[in-house]
Structure 1
Amino acid sequence: MQRVRVKVCGITRVADMQSAARLGADAIGLVFYPPSPRFVGIEQAAAICAATPAFVTTVGLFVNPTYEQVCEVLERVPLDILQFHGEEPEVFCCRFGRPYMKALRMADDLDVLAAAEQYPAACGLLLDSHVPGVPGGTGTTFDWQRIPAQLSQPLILAGGLDAANVSDAIATVRPWAVDVSGGVEQLDADGRRHPGIKSEAAMAAFIEGVNRV
C-alpha cells in the first residue's frame, strides 16, 4: 500500500512549519480566512513560505473569497496549491493558475459523488466534518462509512483527526492523504487548545500513527 501523505494545516509560525517538515509532513496549510483563529496575514504567510524547505507543499486555504483577495495573496505568497473551503464553483477555482483542492463538508444530506462531479479539475477532494456555521477546524469526526469508494479524485481525509484515531481512519478509509489541524495543537494545563500553535510532540505522535498503518 502506498504511503499516506500528511498535511498539517493552520500553521501560523515559522518554527511550527520547520518542526512539521522535520517530522515528515508532506504539506503545510495556511489559512487566509479572517474569522478563523488560525488566520495568517500576508506578511506572516510569506515569511513561512520563504522558510519552507524543498519538497514540502504549501497550501493556501480560502473560504468564499473574492477573485481580488486570492490574487492579493498570490502576489506575495508563493503557494503551491489552493484549497477552497466554501461554496466556490469550479470555474472560480480554476482562475488562478494553481492546482486546487476542494473541501466538502459532510452534511447529512450531502451526495458526495454528485458534489465531487462538480469539481472535475480538482487535484484532490478534502472531506471534512460538517458543523453549521463553521467551515473547518471543528475538531469533530464524521461517519467514515459514508465515503464512497468510487471517487475519481484523490481523497484527503480531515475532521477531528489526531494521534489516537488516525491509524483507524486510514485503515478504514484508505485515503490519499490526511489533514490535521486542531489535533496537533498545544494544550494548556486545563486541556484547552491554543489554535494555530502546534505541539511538536503531538505532530510526532500523529505522523507516527500514520506511518504505523
Structure 2
Amino acid sequence: MKIKVCGFTQAQNARDAAMLGIDAIGLVFYEKSPRHVDIDQALEIVQALPPFINRVGLFVNADSHFIDEVLCEVPLDTLQFHGDETPEQCAQYAMPFIKALRMNKKTNLVQMAQDYHQASGLLLDAFSDKAYGGTGEQFDWSLASVKTLDIDLPIILAGGINTENVADAIAQVNPYAVDTSSGVESASGVKDIAKIKQFISNIR
C-alpha cells in the first residue's frame, strides 16, 4: 500500500515525515488553501527530502503559464489536478499526472477513468461545493470499491483519511494508495510526526 501525505509547508517537517517511509509528499500551489506554498517554499521543502520520495505538485484550475513557471523552478515528479481540468489540459505537460475527482452518487467513476485514461491514477476525494479538496470530509466508500468496479487506473483514496479509519478504508476500497492531509496534522500545513507514524503502522 502506497502512502502519500499532502500539504506540507515546512522543510524539516516534510523531511521528518519522509524519513518514516512514506512514498510521496504533496505541495499545494493553490492560494485559497491554508496549506498553500509559493515557489521558494516548495523548493526548500523538495531540497530537504531524502531520495526516492515522489514529489507531487497540486494545482486547482491553474494557468498553464504558472504551472510552467513552477516546473522550471521546482523539480516535481508528478502533477495532481484538483479542479475542473480537462484530460487535454492535464496531459499537456508530458508528465505523470493524477486527476482528483470529488465523489458523490452522481460520479461515474468508470466513465471518468476512460476520459482520463492518460492519468497515472485517479484520486478520490469527498465532494464539496465550497472547496476543491482538503476539507477533511469523508465520502461514501462504497462508491469507490475497486472490487466491484472495472477500472484499469490505480485508485488513490483520500478525503477524511486518518489514523482511526485508514484500515477500514483500505478494507472497503482496496485502493492502490491512500492520501492524507488534515488527518495527520497538529495545525494546517504542520504534520504531526507521531500521527504519521501511527498512520503508517495502522496500514502495515
Scaled by the length of structure 1, the TM-score of the pair is 0.92
Q: In 1, Cα distance between the equivalents of 2:166 and 2:203?
A: 6
Q: In 2, Cα distance between the equivalents of 1:35 and 1:108?
A: 27
Structure 2 unaligned residues grouped into runs of 5+: none
Displacement of 1:107 after TM fit? 2.6
Which AA in structure 2 matches 1:32?
F
Aligned to 1:195: 188
Structure 1 unaligned residues grouped into runs of 5+: 187-193
Displacement of 1:131 after TM fit? 1.2
Q: In 2, Cα distance between the equivalents of 1:32 and 1:128?
A: 18
Match for residue 118 of structure 1 among 115, 120, 128: 115
Would you say 1:99 and 2:92 are equivalent positions?
no
Matches within 5 A, 1:41-190: 41-147=38-144, 148-186=148-186
Q: In 1, Cα distance between the equivalents of 2:89 and 2:140?
A: 30
Which AA in structure 2 matches 1:195?
S
* Contact preservation (8 Å) 2:110, 2:149: no
Displacement of 1:16 after TM fit? 1.5
Q: In 2, Cα distance between the equivalents of 1:150 and 1:50?
A: 39
Q: In 2, Cα distance between the equivalents of 1:178 and 1:197?
A: 19
Q: How many aligned residue pairs are there? A: 201
Which AA in structure 1 matches 2:192?
S
Displacement of 1:66 after TM fit? 1.1
Match for residue 204 of structure 1 among 192, 197, 200: 197
Aligned to 1:37: 34
Which AA in structure 1 matches 2:20?
L
Q: Percent identity?
A: 47
Q: In 2, Cα distance between the equivalents of 1:208 and 1:62?
A: 30
Q: Deviations over 1:81-134 (max 9, x none)?
A: 000001101111111121000000003311111122110100010000011121
Runs of 4+ in 1 over 6 A off after TM superposition: none
Aligned to 1:6: 3
Q: In 2, Cα distance between the equivalents of 1:159 and 1:132?
A: 14
* Contact preservation (8 Å) 2:104, 2:140: no
Displacement of 1:70 after TM fit? 0.4
Q: Deviations over 1:29-52 (max 9, x none)?
A: 000000000000000001111121
- Over the aligned positions, Cα root-mean-square deviation in angstroms equals 0.9
Q: In 2, Cα distance between the equivalents of 1:121 and 1:32?
A: 22
Q: In 1, Cα distance between the equivalents of 2:150 and 2:16?
A: 35
Displacement of 1:195 after TM fit? 0.6
